[in-house]
Chains A and B, each alone.
Chain A
Amino acid sequence: MRQTLRFLPILVLPALVLAGPVRAADAEHGAYVFASAGCASCHTVEKDGAFLAGGRELKTDFGSFFTPNITPDAETGIGGWSDEDFLRAMREGISPEGDHYYPTFPYTSYARMSDEDLLDLKAYLETVPAVRNEVRDHDLPFPFNIRMSMFGWKLLFFDGDRFEPDPTKSEAWNRGAYLVNGPGHCGECHSPRNILGVVDSERALSGNRNGPEGDAVPNITPGSDGIGEWSEDEIVAALEIGMLPDGDFLGGAMTDVIEENTGKLSDEDRRAIATYLTSLPPLASND
């Protein structure tokens, strides 16, 4: 058996050569994408939860969701998923069995991400310890427990568009726009939603009075209701260490974002986010 395996690369090589150049997925870069997408905080139970083994309760207006296990465990996690399975889940919100995910899982933002980023992310996820953890079903009252209804919701409200760079803007702006609207999924908390839970894209990032756990989420567009007074350096400081311009420190749900997501980005990427945010039209907060 071992002898046969030794020859396997030689047998496989012609197939690869014929198929054309293929960029191998990069798990190391995937760890970075993982940080930028902020998967850790939702998919791990606070304090003592096994890393990415799911089961964390997300309380929303539509009921309680329990995050899935995304470790490589074959039975209770995402072990064995193909590249297509993973891309479909992240971009289209569809499971390998063909079920629709609820947009509590922000595929509505992850849809913007590139193939490379997503496949690198998958490669990274394959390296984390597999944990056997059968996560319970969501606790949703009627009619939200009808998963099939997500088909209709998505038909009406989900655009699934990939990120398109704006050639008239700088590289930094485009990088910031990609990070904020794609992996960063900032709008999922920072944008107002209507009664059907649809993000109001016209008022994107202008805050949400009724955010996760019922808490108010701030307006991060420029202007007096938002972060108009902040310098780019101050935005970067907030993203890096959670410090606000008056020396206060962010708490609540943002602590996880700073620790697991923006705090782990490169300085260049944080600056790109600041470049993008400061370019947005100032929006008033909703009431």
Chain B
Amino acid sequence: MVSVRKTLKFGTLAAIAVAVGVAFGTSGSDVASAAGHAYKERNAAMKSMGGAMKKLGAAVGAGNNADAAAAAKEIAAIADNIPAMFKVNAVPADSRAKPEIWTNMDDFNAKAAETAAAANKVASDAMGGSLASDPKAVVGSIGATCGGCHKVYRAEKS
């Protein structure tokens, strides 16, 4: 019969060993995968935003207010989510995110809010039937906020 004390001692040591193993053995890849996941998520979101901008341009060109509003709302939703997506300070090799994002987080988030506001305005104009007819003017009204953020917080392609 194994003594309770020995079991406890062994069990505790084993638990500690496992915990340490988890902490050191997998923590690297856990952190790495959290960073990689954050990057993938925000990268995909930005690409979707680009796609929605194109859809918006096409909708305005076709005089389709409903589609324009839908595209604008999609853009606003992504922009609203930007602060959350960039919470993790993770910059894998491919990322163009500049460190200034995390040293100037208030400004960065404010810029995301500007994009959301511009997109929401386009959506409400479209729904109210007062949207401008020039696709470039409409897309540009949101695009200016995109450029404003990319100017400061996104590195050039290398």
Interface residues of A (CB under 8 A from B): 211, 215-218, 237, 240-244, 246-252, 255-256, 258-259
The chain A residue sitting closest to B153, CB to CB, is A251
Least CB distance from A17 to B in Å reads 48
B136 touches A217 (CB 8 A): no
Q: Does B79 sit within 8 A of A, measured CB to CB?
A: no
A251 touches B140 (CB 8 A): no
Q: Does B158 sit within 8 A of A, measured CB to CB?
A: yes
Within 8 A of A (CB), among B99-158: 136, 139-140, 143-144, 146-158
Least CB distance from A217 to B in Å reads 7
Q: Does B92 sit within 8 A of A, measured CB to CB?
A: no
A215 touches B156 (CB 8 A): yes
Least CB distance from A140 to B in Å reads 25
- Give the residues in chain B near A218, CB-CB below 8 Å: 157
**Among B50, B136, B147, B158, which residue has its beta carbon within 8 angstroms of that of A251?**
B147
- Give the residues in chain A near B151, CB-CB below 8 Å: 251-252, 255-256
- Give the residues in chain A near B11, CB-CB below 8 Å: none
B136 touches A216 (CB 8 A): no
Give Cα distance in the complex from A258 to B125, angstroms: 25
Give Cα distance in the complex from A255 to B153, angstroms: 12
Chain A residues touching B, majority SS: loop
A247 touches B49 (CB 8 A): yes
Interface residues of B (CB under 8 A from A): 46-47, 49-54, 57, 136, 139-140, 143-144, 146-158
Most buried by A among B49, B148, B156, B158: B156
A250 touches B155 (CB 8 A): no
With known contacts A216-B158, A252-B156, A258–B147 Cβ distance under 8 A? yes
Chain B residues touching A, majority SS: helix
- Give the residues in chain B near A217, CB-CB below 8 Å: 156
Least CB distance from B45 to A in Å reads 13
A247 touches B52 (CB 8 A): yes
Least CB distance from B119 to A in Å reads 13
- Give the residues in chain A near B149, CB-CB below 8 Å: 251
- Give the residues in chain B near A211, CB-CB below 8 Å: 156
- Give the residues in chain A near B53, CB-CB below 8 Å: 243, 247, 249
The chain A residue sitting closest to B150, CB to CB, is A251
- Give the residues in chain A near B52, CB-CB below 8 Å: 247
Least CB distance from A44 to B in Å reads 15
- Give the residues in chain A near B147, CB-CB below 8 Å: 242, 249-251, 255, 258-259
With known contacts A241-B136, A241-B143, A249–B150 Cβ distance under 8 A? yes
Give Cα distance in the complex from A249 to B118, angstroms: 15
Least CB distance from B96 to A in Å reads 9
- Give the residues in chain B near A249, CB-CB below 8 Å: 50, 53, 143, 146-147, 150
**Among B47, B139, B154, B158, which residue has its beta carbon within 8 angstroms of that of A243?**
B139
Give Cα distance in the complex from A250 to B154, angstroms: 10
Give Cα distance in the complex from A256 to B151, angstroms: 9
Give Cα distance in the complex from A217 to B49, angstroms: 24
With known contacts A216-B156, A216-B157, A216-B158, A250–B150 Cβ distance under 8 A? yes
Q: Can you name 27 A-B residue pairings with CB atoms under 8 Å?
A: A215-B156, A216-B156, A218-B157, A240-B136, A240-B140, A241-B136, A241-B139, A241-B144, A242-B144, A242-B146, A243-B57, A243-B139, A246-B50, A246-B54, A247-B53, A248-B50, A249-B53, A249-B147, A250-B150, A251-B147, A251-B149, A251-B151, A251-B152, A251-B156, A255-B147, A258-B147, A259-B147
The chain B residue sitting closest to A212, CB to CB, is B156
3 tightest Cβ-Cβ pairs between the two chains A and B? A251-B150, A247-B50, A241-B140
Least CB distance from A258 to B in Å reads 7
- Give the residues in chain B near A250, CB-CB below 8 Å: 147, 150
Least CB distance from B64 to A in Å reads 17
Give Cα distance in the complex from A248 to B136, angstroms: 14
